[in-house]
Structure formats: structure tokens, C-alpha cells
A and B are shown apart, each in its own frame.
Chain A
Amino acid sequence: MRVLIVEPSKDLAGVISDSFSQENIIADVAHTAQAGIAHADKNKPDIVVLELLMSDHNGLEFIHEFKSYQDWFDIPILIYSDLSSEELGKAVGWREDMNIIGHLYKPTASLKELKGYVKSAFNED
């Protein structure tokens, strides 16, 4: 399985990536939305783990651009963000439309939960 981690913090992206590597999951890392698109173009991911708070484009713009490519439309996106559910709002509709499989609040969701969520998306528990 190949995960694309779009996370602006280089240190945190490294930690998440190392954590996936422990499970023999290939993890590509991008620190900006544009780098995320470029990475996906080079190595098509099975799932994207996305922080919405980014300095160049915000995560929602990334989602819209990512999903505008037909080949990638079915690739699930898991939001792993410093934004809480309350801050993110209750826009469930767009999540389903965009194949957003879930939202984990980064401060309280452990790496174990993150990996569990990713693996369960592919029934690899």
C-alpha cells in the first residue's frame, strides 16, 4: 500500500512517515499542496493523508484540484488535521462527494489510530 502524506511540518511528516514504514506501508511525503499533486503524478497513491492547514494553498483547494483529475477521483482522502470537527464544520455532503473517508483531529488521534484508519480503509487489519 502506498500513502501520500501532505503535511507542512517536515518534522511531523517524518514522524508519520516513519510510523507507516514500521508497518511496511510505503509513505511519500509532500510539504505543500503543489508538491502533493506532483508526488501523486509520479507515484499514484492508494490513499492520501492530508493536513488542511497549509501556507501556500489550503487543504480544501488541494482536495478540489486532486479530485479534478479523473484518474485520482476514487483515491480516498483522510483528513489528519489540527482543525477540530467543530472548526471544520459539518459539511458532510462535500466529504462524501469528494471521497473523504474521515477526519482525525491530530492533537488527540494517535499514530496508531491513524494507521488503523488507513489500514481499515483497505481491510488490512
Chain B
Amino acid sequence: MLNRANKNYNSDVLDSLARELKRPLVLMSKQAELNQSAPDKKHMELIRRTAEKALRLIDSYLLTAQSEYGQQLLPVESFGIGSVIYNVAEEIRPMAKQANIDVVLNVKDALVEANKEGVRAAIWCLSEMVLEHASSEPEKTAIEINARKSTDSVRISVLSKTIKVKNSDIKKAQRNLGGTHMALSSASSESGVRLAVAGLLGESLGTSLKAVREDNKQGLGFDLSLSSQLQLGIG
């Protein structure tokens, strides 16, 4: 039988899912309507991309629920941080190009043990935030994704010359990290809903989340431990 806490949790999950899923579905319905009146390949591509976002969102909620009830453990594996950053950069480049922004990598590769998708989502989330900041600049600019290895950790940061990081940005990033649900769904990143498992991601990475300043660049970053496992899951 469900106790009150579980009922509240279930209700929160359903409420969040409904609200977040509404966005891509609304977008798809309007994109389809526009395509009906003015058929265009570009519209169909947008519909496809939005549908993928909606599917990732559903998957992430499913994973959240399964993890919460102990039906699934989020895998922890060894991986090179460099390849993850490279993949994220490839994914955000088209978006950055539209905003006249270059994506530069400055990566010292390191082997970490963590939930790969969670870390990938976190880097994606920070990159998206810094991009959003930088895109308000009228002139061409760049964002830089860094990985710097120290004795027992690797610092991952996303920086730009043209942004200034405020306390509210840190709070927003922590909220967004809590809302990534281990998935690369930008559809979910705006709301910052905090669910139990997503909260673990927020706690694990969010607590070390900080404003990073290097030379004349500013941005957001977090430290990932090399020695201890970053267990993002229940169990």
C-alpha cells in the first residue's frame, strides 16, 4: 500500500511528466499545422527532432521511476571524459552555429567512473546554459568546453569570454542539473523539476557546481572525482 510520501512522490512525478511532455507535443502539433499550410522539409525535420525529445523525456521519467522503486540501478562504468565531451560538442555545434557561436574544446582526457549518461547530460546542460548566455551577444563569439585533470579529480567547465556568471546562474544550473533526469532532453531543462533520482544527480554534481573564472573567461563547472565512484542511482 502506498504511504502518503509515496503518493506525493507519484503525484509530483505525474504532474511534472504531464507539464513537461505538454511542451514538445504542443510544439509538434503546431509544427504539423504549419506544415499543412506551407509544406516544407524544414518543418518535418523539426517535428522529427521534437518527437525525439519527447521520447527521451518519457524514457527519462521511466528510468527515474524504475530507479526510485529499485527496479533498475543506474550503471556506473569507466570511461574517458574526452570522448563524452567530444560527443556533446558535436551535438551542440549545429545549435551554436545558428547563434553564430563557435564551440572550442580544451580537453585533457581522464578516466572516470560514473554514470556516463548522467555526466553527459550534465555537460550538455551546462553547455546549453552558457550558449544561451553567449547567444545574447550580437557579435560572433565562442564557448569553450574544458577538462582539466588534477591529482584526484577532473574539473569540467564550460566558459566564454562574453558572459558574466551571477549567483542566480549557479542556482539555475543546479536546478537544471536536477531536471535533466539523466537524459539529454532539452525539453526538460527549463523547468528544473526535482525528482528523487534527478535530485541525486543534482546533489552529486550540483554541490560541486561552481562559477569558474580562467584568464578572461567565465562559466560554470564541476569536479568529478577520479578515485571514488559517482554513484548516480539507488542501491
Chain A residues with CB under 8 A of B172: 55
Chain B residues with CB under 8 A of A16: 30
Given the interface contacts A82-B22, A107-B25, does A8 sit within 8 Å of B30 by beta carbon? no
B34 at the interface (CB under 8 A from A): yes
Which of B22, B31, B33, B38 is in CB contact (< 8 Å) with A107? B22
A99 at the interface (CB under 8 A from B): no
Chain A residues with CB under 8 A of B25: 107
**CB closest residue in chain B, given A14:** B46
A111 to B190, CA, bound (A): 24
A107 to B31, CA, bound (A): 12
Instruction: Say whether B29 contacts A12, CB under 8 Å.
Output: no
Chain B residues with CB under 8 A of A11: 27, 31, 46, 50
Task: Report the count of interface residues on B (CB-CB < 8 A).
Answer: 17
Chain A residues with CB under 8 A of B26: 12, 82, 106-107
A110 at the interface (CB under 8 A from B): yes
Given the interface contacts A82-B22, A82-B23, does A12 sit within 8 Å of B38 by beta carbon? no
Instruction: Say whether B38 contacts A22, CB under 8 Å.
Output: yes
A15 at the interface (CB under 8 A from B): yes
In whole Å, how far is B147's beta carbon from the nearest beta carbon of chain A?
A: 29
A118 to B19, CA, bound (A): 26
Task: Report the count of interface residues on A (CB-CB < 8 A).
Answer: 16
**CB closest residue in chain B, given A107:** B26
Q: Within residues 1 to 55 of chain B, which ones have a CB less than 8 A from any CB in chain A?
A: 19, 22-23, 25-27, 29-31, 33-34, 37-38, 46, 50
A15 to B47, CA, bound (A): 11
Given the interface contacts A111-B33, A112-B33, does A15 sit within 8 Å of B27 by beta carbon? yes
Chain B residues with CB under 8 A of A112: 33
In whole Å, how far is A115's beta carbon from the nearest beta carbon of chain B?
A: 10
In whole Å, how far is A105's beta carbon from the nearest beta carbon of chain B?
A: 10
Interface residues of A (CB under 8 A from B): 8-9, 11-12, 15-16, 18-19, 22, 55, 82, 106-107, 110-112
Interface residues of B (CB under 8 A from A): 19, 22-23, 25-27, 29-31, 33-34, 37-38, 46, 50, 172, 190
Interchain Cβ contacts under 8 Å between A and B, 25 examples: A9-B23, A11-B27, A11-B31, A12-B26, A15-B27, A15-B30, A15-B31, A15-B46, A18-B34, A18-B38, A19-B30, A19-B33, A19-B37, A22-B37, A22-B38, A55-B172, A55-B190, A82-B19, A82-B22, A82-B26, A107-B25, A107-B26, A110-B30, A110-B33, A111-B30
